[in-house]
């Protein structure tokens, strides 16, 4: 059978995102232009037709002419990597010649309407189809598959958005105020506009109502009449079971009478002359717009409403089941191309309004009407860049654009395969978060975050693809010829539109599937026969998550030979799809399939076979060896921690200037690996090292997941990493010839620091490469002009006193300057970037984890000579507590210890691919042949006494990851520091030099111990103590009269006032309660 390595490679994993963006460039932008076609302007004899749009990559001017700017330069200079959009506009103007004859002139004009960000490795990207050598020469990573954008120098990725399927009827029950009703809903989409239409049938009540934007609870009967249907035509649309329910809703009104009645309901409050026009616009544009927006489409809309009503009635009659909105056949994933088209549509609409305004302003001011001068491309640029830079999309959605996670190479690949369901994170949404059976093979059940995003943020499996937008005109033409309008046949739909009915649905579906397998119909077209609903549904729309399966009936000798050619690399996997051996199914079509997991389990009843079980997992999940031996929570944790490991995030890290980056100094390839590592070349950029691990309780220093580390192993480079940070400064030019300057600030500069922090600066104010620095040292000396105009000197000029604006190193960091880059921004300002490096050596408190969710912090660093050792003198690098294994059932961890040792002894890598790994029995055999016990246990000796440890110890080689959660980045101390203005309590957080939180549980603990003095010290003396004058008679906070230097009570006017020490936060509470009319009175007693 096939394995992942036979048909997946590093480029195919992002193909669906890049294809989506390429569709946008080829068709998507032009679709938006075609929707508008013309720009209406109120200028007599002047017309603008919108014709063709093209996208042209930018070039920069050099001494030798125009030259493409390297992609790396966009990152360094903090600019957006985008292309110019040029729109061809046909200008038609009518003028009269000197004889009074009207003459029409037509001319095409190319105008730049804005810029669109370029997806890396797309068809218009400069890196597309470059060889590895050329990519390396340009400072790029040859292993990077692309699929992201560069916005203001930052790498950002568009997350796939999980949405309800458009134009699909979903029938559910609704219980509103105790009244049960059946609801048929459809989310109708046309040209990016979404309109929701609902048909409601209450239980035990003879009415059916229709709701859509602009109209609520319109009776079904007279709406159908208003749309042009007669009673007999309506009755023909229903069968014998549902006809009785529809009769009470019908009226004897004519179509015109019903339409006038509808006008009064929809356009109530408007003048009569506008009522009809507004009602027509509402019906044509907001009622089921996917069917059409013309008068001739109204009857088709009425028939579609009848289908919705029939489904709602059948649900109440229990003749059909309730639709599951979480079923993946009712979901679509919106990718980068679709999301950018939506953003472009909104931005282009704003641009056209601005162009119209500018042209009409030129005309009214008697100036020449010039289209080129009327276009302000920044209108569109600002809207698109803002959305991509912040993630705030159209429709009030947020989080769609995210900064690409470059922690490890694995995390960056996984981030680009992520999809998100945009629901409110704080609400439960239990059904939406649950694993659904239809997600099998499409969405990973284990790679999802913990916490509020659990189940809402998901990752596609390695075998899943997303369908493209396909032209359905050929299928429609075919079905129009063979389908009838009989109500007794099976209804046939194409992308939610009724094409007619067919007497033999099974035969129709089988014929269409054969055409798809033969390549006559696109491979990602879905053909479904819903027998329970008596419908045939055909989908060719974008966003359906599909997965490949082998067609069981086509698995003959010829097919097996073709599969063998693919395994032997003589043919491509696409050949199997083109010949019908493999086909892609979405969740709707898979409902009818009976799939065998492996070829061994194939029976005559099966319709399909899984290509390989290992493609049912996501990238991070498939990275875990022997994942099928572990409990699900540990696989989920391991997937998350694999993305937090320190490794090599990209091979181009020496030339990059990322704000933060962690790089492991001596990374190693794991002895136990998976197919995922081989396909995506994770072994070229590993994120861990092979440790010799012993399971042993040691001195009590590895309790509760703590681990003991060999000091000599650390000194030899185990777990050692380098932390890079980039500091940026720019010489900004201001109005009035003012500007920043890079220099060593002089003593007369406002805010001048001590001379010691400037000692590393060169004469131009910039630190030199390979200079050692410590916390708070100045790296870039910079002065800025004063913020405000100061006093005028005796000569009438402003006396300028420059202020300190230097860039200093972080307080808790020290290290060396790795590189210094001076460049010029597009605005002509000088920019400096300082890249620093700091060594990070493992220390007590640092976090480490294996690939099985077995995480722990270093509890002790033991000297080599004191560690236990084997007969061969092997000393473990890490000692782990055996109590971590049983309750967590991470059996894969134990098998890797066997496999890692067996691989070292046998001189090869061990295959740990999920479901297809090397068997445990084989690993034990290798150990036996090499003279070891097949149990993996060995005799160890105490390093301090030399005595033999009584029990045999399980010891082996495990791949461990050092996570980026390090003590040196989290350690925080405070003796005194800033306080909040409102409460006068210490600020919160390490970055703000905040205090350490003393919470309710800490308070309860000290109360339990009776440590009242400590409580007073923590909560009063060292926090927000304040002296408050209190009246001894009435207990109200008194007032201090500063003029008479006297304290008095504002209530009883008594002067018997005493100062009391209380927390300021309590005084604030008393003041806020006083505003509500609640007085807090203090009871005073003599101080003991």
Please give the biggest Cα pair distance in the chain. Answer: 119
Quick one: pLDDT at residue 160? 95
CA distances from 350 to 374, 375, 399, 616 (A): 13, 11, 23, 44
| C-alpha triplet 1017, 1022, 1024: angle, nearest 5° | 115
How far apart CA 332 and CA 309 sit, in angstroms, is: 25
What three-state secondary structure class fits 7? helix
- Say what the pTM is: 0.91
Pairing of strands 707-710, 855-862: parallel
Q: Is 1043 exposed, middle or buried (0-12, 13-18, 19+ CB in 10 A)?
A: exposed
Q: What is the dihedral of CA 732, 733, 738, 739, to 10 degrees?
A: 30
Chunk the chain into consecutive blocks of 10 residues (it has 1088) and report each block's average pLDDT, rounded to whole numbers: 83 92 95 91 87 86 66 93 94 76 84 94 93 93 95 96 93 86 93 91 90 92 90 89 88 86 82 84 92 90 94 92 92 95 94 92 86 88 94 90 95 95 85 93 94 93 93 90 80 89 92 93 94 91 95 89 89 91 95 92 93 93 95 95 95 93 96 94 94 94 94 96 96 87 92 92 95 94 81 53 92 94 91 96 96 95 96 95 93 96 95 94 94 94 94 96 93 90 92 90 96 94 93 91 86 86 95 94 86
Residue intervals in the chain for CATH 2.40.270.10: 623-720+843-962
3-state secondary structure 41-82: CCCCCEEEEEEEEEEEECCEEECCEEECCCHHHHHHCCCCCE
Structure tokens that stand for 826 in this block: 């597009």
Is 705 assigned a catalytic role? Answer: yes
Bridge-partner residues for 197, per DSSP? 186
Superfamily of structural domain 722-840: RNA polymerase II, Rpb2 subunit, wall domain (2.40.50.150)
Quick one: pLDDT at residue 953? 96
How far apart CA 145 and CA 412 sit, in angstroms, is: 10
Domain 1024-1088 adopts which CATH fold? DCoH-like (3.90.1800)
How far apart CA 585 and CA 578 sit, in angstroms, is: 14
Quick one: pLDDT at residue 104? 81
635: left (phi over 0), alpha (psi -120 to 50) or beta: alpha
Question: 611, 588, 609: which is closest to 526 by C-alpha?
Answer: 588
Q: How many helices (H) and strands (E) does the chain have?
A: 31, 52
pLDDT digits (tens, 9 = 90+) for 862-876: 999 999 999 999 999
Quick one: pLDDT at residue 794? 47
Look up the CATH architecture of domain 169-321. Alpha-Beta Complex (3.90)
* Phi and psi at residue 1038, to the nearest 5°: -85, 175
Q: Is 12 exposed, middle or buried (0-12, 13-18, 19+ CB in 10 A)?
A: middle
Quick one: pLDDT at residue 487? 66
Residue intervals in the chain for CATH 3.90.1110.10: 169-321
Quick one: pLDDT at residue 2? 84
The neighbour count for residue 254, using CB atoms within 10 Å, is 12
| C-alpha triplet 713, 719, 724: angle, nearest 5° | 140
pLDDT digits (tens, 9 = 90+) for 945-957: 999 999 999 999 9
Question: 286, 205, 292: which is closest to 249 by C-alpha?
Answer: 205
Quick one: pLDDT at residue 143? 93
Quick one: pLDDT at residue 260? 87
How far apart CA 419 and CA 159 sit, in angstroms, is: 6
Using the structure block, give the residue that is written with the tokens 């005595």.
947
Pairing of strands 1025-1031, 193-202: unpaired
Question: 26, 88, 102: which is closest to 51 by C-alpha?
Answer: 88
CA distances from 1042 to 605, 1048, 1060, 1064 (A): 96, 11, 18, 21
* Catalytic entry in 705, 866, 906, 1054: 705
Task: Return the H-helix or E-strand segment holding 216.
Answer: strand 215-219
Task: Return the H-helix or E-strand segment holding 639.
Answer: helix 632-642
Quick one: pLDDT at residue 791? 47
Question: 694, 693, 709, 717: which is closest to 864 by C-alpha?
Answer: 709
Residue intervals in the chain for CATH 3.90.1800.10: 1024-1088
Task: Kindly report the CATH class assigned to 623-720+843-962.
Answer: mainly beta
Structure tokens that stand for 818 in this block: 């790795």
Residue intervals in the chain for CATH 2.40.50.150: 722-840
How far apart CA 984 and CA 151 sit, in angstroms, is: 40
Question: 831, 843, 840, 847: which is closest to 726 by C-alpha?
Answer: 831
CA distances from 18 to 146, 160, 679 (A): 8, 12, 19
CATH of the domain spanning 470-540, picked from 3.90.1200.10, 3.90.180.10, 3.30.70.3190, 3.90.1070.20 = 3.90.1070.20
Quick one: pLDDT at residue 64? 54
Quick one: pLDDT at residue 792? 45
How far apart CA 918 and CA 924 sit, in angstroms, is: 11
* Phi and psi at residue 54, to the nearest 5°: -135, 155
């Amino acid at each position: 059978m096939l394995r992942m390595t036979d048909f997946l490679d590093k480029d195919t994993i992002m193909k669906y995102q890049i294809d989506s963006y390429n569709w946008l460039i080829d068709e998507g932008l032009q679709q938006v232009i075609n929707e508008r076609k013309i720009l209406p302007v109120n200028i007599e004899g002047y017309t603008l037709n919108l014709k063709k749009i093209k996208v042209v990559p930018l070039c920069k001017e050099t001494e030798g002419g125009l030259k493409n700017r390297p992609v790396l330069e966009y990152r360094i200079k903090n600019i957006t990597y985008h292309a110019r959009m040029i729109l061809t506009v046909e200008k038609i103007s009518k003028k009269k010649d000197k004889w009074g004859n009207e003459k029409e002139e037509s001319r095409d004009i190319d105008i730049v309407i804005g810029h669109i960000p370029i997806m890396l490795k797309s068809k218009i990207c400069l890196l597309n189809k470059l060889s590895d050598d050329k990519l390396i020469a340009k400072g790029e990573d040859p292993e990077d598959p692309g699929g992201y954008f560069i916005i203001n120098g930052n790498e950002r990725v568009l997350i796939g958005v999980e949405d309800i399927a458009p134009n699909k009827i979903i029938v559910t029950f609704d219980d509103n105020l105790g009244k049960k009703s059946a609801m048929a809903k459809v989310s109708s989409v046309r040209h990016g506009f979404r309109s929701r239409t609902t048909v409601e049938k209450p239980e035990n009540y003879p009415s059916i109502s229709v709701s859509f934007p602009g109209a609520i609870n319109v009776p079904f009967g007279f709406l159908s009449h208003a749309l042009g249907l007669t009673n007999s035509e309506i009755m023909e649309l229903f069968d014998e079971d549902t006809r009785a329910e529809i009769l009470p809703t019908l009226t004897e009104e004519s179509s015109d009478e019903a339409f006038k009645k509808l006008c009064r309901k929809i356009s109530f409050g408007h003048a009569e002359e506008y009522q009809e026009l507004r009602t027509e616009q509402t019906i044509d544009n907001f009622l089921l717009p996917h069917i059409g927006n013309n008068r001739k489409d109204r009857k088709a809309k009425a028939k579609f409403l009848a289908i919705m009503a029939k489904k709602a009635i059948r649900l109440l009659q229990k003749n059909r089941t309730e639709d599951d909105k979480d079923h993946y056949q009712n979901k679509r994933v919106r990718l980068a191309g679709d999301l950018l088209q939506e953003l472009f549509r909104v931005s282009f609409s704003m641009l056209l309004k601005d162009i119209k305004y500018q042209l009409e302003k030129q005309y009214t001011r008697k100036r020449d009407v010039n289209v080129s001068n009327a276009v302000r491309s920044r209108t569109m640029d600002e809207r698109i860049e803002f959305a991509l830079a912040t993630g705030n999309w159209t429709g009030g959605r947020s989080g769609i654009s995210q900064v690409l996670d470059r922690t490890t190479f694995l995390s960056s690949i996984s981030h680009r395969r992520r999809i998100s369901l945009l629901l409110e994170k704080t609400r439960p949404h239990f059904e939406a978060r649950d694993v659904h059976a239809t997600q099998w093979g499409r969405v990973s059940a284990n790679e999802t975050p913990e916490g509020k995003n659990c189940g809402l943020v998901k990752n596609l499996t390695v075998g899943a693809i997303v369908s493209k937008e396909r032209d359905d005109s050929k299928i429609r033409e075919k079905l129009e010829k063979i389908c009838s309008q009989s109500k007794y046949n099976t209804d046939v739909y194409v992308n939610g539109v009724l094409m007619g009915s067919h007497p033999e649905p099974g035969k129709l579906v089988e014929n269409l599937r054969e055409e798809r397998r033969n390549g006559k119909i696109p491979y990602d077209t879905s053909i479904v026969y819903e027998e329970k609903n008596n419908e045939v549904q055909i989908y060719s729309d974008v966003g359906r998550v599909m997965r490949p399966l082998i067609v069981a009936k086509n698995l003959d000798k010829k097919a097996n030979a073709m599969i063998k050619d693919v395994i032997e690399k003589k043919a491509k996997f696409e050949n199997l799809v083109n010949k019908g051996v493999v086909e892609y199914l979405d969740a709707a079509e898979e409902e009818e399939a009976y799939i065998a997991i492996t070829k061994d389990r194939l029976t005559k009843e099966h319709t399909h076979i899984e290509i390989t079980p290992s493609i049912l997992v996501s990238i991070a999940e498939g990275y875990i060896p022997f994942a099928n031996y572990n409990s699900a929570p540990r696989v989920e944790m391991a997937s998350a921690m694999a993305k937090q490991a320190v490794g090599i995030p990209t091979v181009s890290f020496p030339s990059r200037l990322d704000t933060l980056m962690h790089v492991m100094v001596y990374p190693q390839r794991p002895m136990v690996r998976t197919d995922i590592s081989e396909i995506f070349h994770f072994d070229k950029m590993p994120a861990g090292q092979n440790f010799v691990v012993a399971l042993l309780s040691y001195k009590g220093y590895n309790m509760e997941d703590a681990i003991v580390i060999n000091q000599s192993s650390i000194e030899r480079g185990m777990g050692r990493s380098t932390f890079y940070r980039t500091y940026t400064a720019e010489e900004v030019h201001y109005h009035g010839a003012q500007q920043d300057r890079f220099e060593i600030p002089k003593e007369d500069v406002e805010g001048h620091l001590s001379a010691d922090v400037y000692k590393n600066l060169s004469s131009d104010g910039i630190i030199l490469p390979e200079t050692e620095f410590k916390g708070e040292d100045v790296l870039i000396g910079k002065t800025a002009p004063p913020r405000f105009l100061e006093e005028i000197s005796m000569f009438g000029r402003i006396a300028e006193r420059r202020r300190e604006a230097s860039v200093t190193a972080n307080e808790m960091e020290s290290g060396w300057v790795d590189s210094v880059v001076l460049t010029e921004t597009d605005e002509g300002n000088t920019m400096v970037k300082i890249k620093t490096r700091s060594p990070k050596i493992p220390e007590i408190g640092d976090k480490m984890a294996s690939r099985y969710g077995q995480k722990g912090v270093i509890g002790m660093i033991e000297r080599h000579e004191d560690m236990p050792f084997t007969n061969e003198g092997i000393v473990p690098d890490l000692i782990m507590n055996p109590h971590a294994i049983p309750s967590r059932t991470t059996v894969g961890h134990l098998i890797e210890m066997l496999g890692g040792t067996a691989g070292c002894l046998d001189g090869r890598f061990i295959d740990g691919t999920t479901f297809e790994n090397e068997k445990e029995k084989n690993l034990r055999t290798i150990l036996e042949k090499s003279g070891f016990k097949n149990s993996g246990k060995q005799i160890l000796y105490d390093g301090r006494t030399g005595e033999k440890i009584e029990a045999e110890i399980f010891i082996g080689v495990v791949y461990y990851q050092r996570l980026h959660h390090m003590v040196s980045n989290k350690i925080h101390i405070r003796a005194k520091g800033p306080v909040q203005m409102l409460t006068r309590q210490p600020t919160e957080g390490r970055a703000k030099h905040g205090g350490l939180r003393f919470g309710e549980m800490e308070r309860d603990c000290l109360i339990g111990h009776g440590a009242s003095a400590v409580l007073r010290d923590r909560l009063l003396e060292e926090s927000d103590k304040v002296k408050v004058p209190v009246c001894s008679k009435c207990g109200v906070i008194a007032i201090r009269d500063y003029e008479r230097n006297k304290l008095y009570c504002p209530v009883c006017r008594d002067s018997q006032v005493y100062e009391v020490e209380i927390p300021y936060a309590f005084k604030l509470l008393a003041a806020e309660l006083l505003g509500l009319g609640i007085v807090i009175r203090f009871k005073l007693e003599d101080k003991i």
